[in-house]
Amino acid sequence: MGHVGLAMHFRRDPNDRRKELTVSRFIEVVHKNAVASRNTADAFIKEMLHYNIAEYVAGGDGRTHPLQPTAATIERFTGWVTAHLRTLDHIDGGDRLARFLERPEMLATLQPLVADGLLASKPVREPNQTFSLFIWLNNGGIVMDWLMSGIDPDHAGLERIPTGVVSIGDFAKWLKLSRTHLGRKLRTAEELGSIGWLGQRGHSVMWVSHRFYEEYMTVQAAKLAVVDTAFKACFPPSQGDG
């Protein structure tokens, strides 16, 4: 939903009210693309406003109340883009990040293409069971990122891959999540055979299954491919690039 809102913001036309980012238009686009229900989209916008991730446009039409992401949100999203471009460069030795930093204003063109690609990507839109379980948890993506970031690459081929997580309480506190809610999701994942503990539950090192690890990597690969395709559309290679 965040990508949908940003794309609508960057594609807005100040001279055409039909292309403004408003609550009603956002809810309609989210619902039309089967991203979430109308009620979920409405709750999402309210949270974005509450936490100053989005704001009403000063001097905007009082009847439609157009919205925009705050400057801090744009800055954080720019960090998201640079992280993905840096990762792609690390994979193939490219120079995407340097080219983007030379023309940061291209963010307004790049992001909507990324959003289109994510909406059209089946691996991203329809991930496997355990990934789906966490993605609907508040900060669920960060939960998975933290689990996977603690994995030793040398252990990635194991059926039960140790992570760096031991205490559910500490994990929840660091993520600013309800320990009860996080614990419930982890128990469901445990019942699916996707996670477990090497010793006593909740008091020993947590492992993730190889299947869950592959689910996560599949989604990340698909997301990187979307970013790469969008980047190539915005920054076509010059004639001298071979």
Instruction: Write the pLDDT tens digit of every residue in 15-26.
Output: 776 778 999 999
Q: What is the pLDDT of residue 241?
A: 54
Residue 60: pLDDT band (50, 70, 90) is low
CA–CA distance from 17 to each of 13, 26, 42 (Å)?
Answer: 7, 13, 20
Asked if 213 contacts 74 with a C-beta cutoff of 8 angstroms, the reply is no
Residue 209: pLDDT band (50, 70, 90) is very high
* 69: phi then psi, degrees, rounded to nearest 5: -70, 150
Q: What is the pLDDT of residue 143?
A: 83
Q: What is the pLDDT of residue 61?
A: 59
C-alpha to C-alpha distance for 2 and 151, rounded to whole angstroms: 28
Q: What is the pLDDT of residue 174?
A: 79
Q: What is the pLDDT of residues 116-165, one digit of tens each?
A: 999 999 988 888 777 777 776 666 788 888 888 889 999 999 999 999 88
Over residues 62-75, the mean pLDDT reads 87
Decide if pLDDT at 10 tops 90: yes
Residue 242: pLDDT band (50, 70, 90) is very low
Which two three-digit tokens encode residue 148? Answer: 């996977």
Asked if 161 contacts 207 with a C-beta cutoff of 8 angstroms, the reply is yes
Residue 63: pLDDT band (50, 70, 90) is low
Decide if pLDDT at 239 tops 70: no
Over residues 200-215, the mean pLDDT reads 88
Over residues 197-219, the mean pLDDT reads 89
Over residues 214-228, the mean pLDDT reads 95
pTM above 0.75, yes or no: yes
Q: How many CA atoms lie within 13 A of 105 on its CB side?
A: 0
42-56, 61-75, 76-90, 95-109: the lowest-pLDDT one: 61-75
* 203: phi then psi, degrees, rounded to nearest 5: -135, 20
Decide if pLDDT at 171 tops 90: no
Collapse the DSSP code of 4 into the 3-class scheme (helix H, G, I; strand E, B; otherwise coil) and give the result. Answer: helix
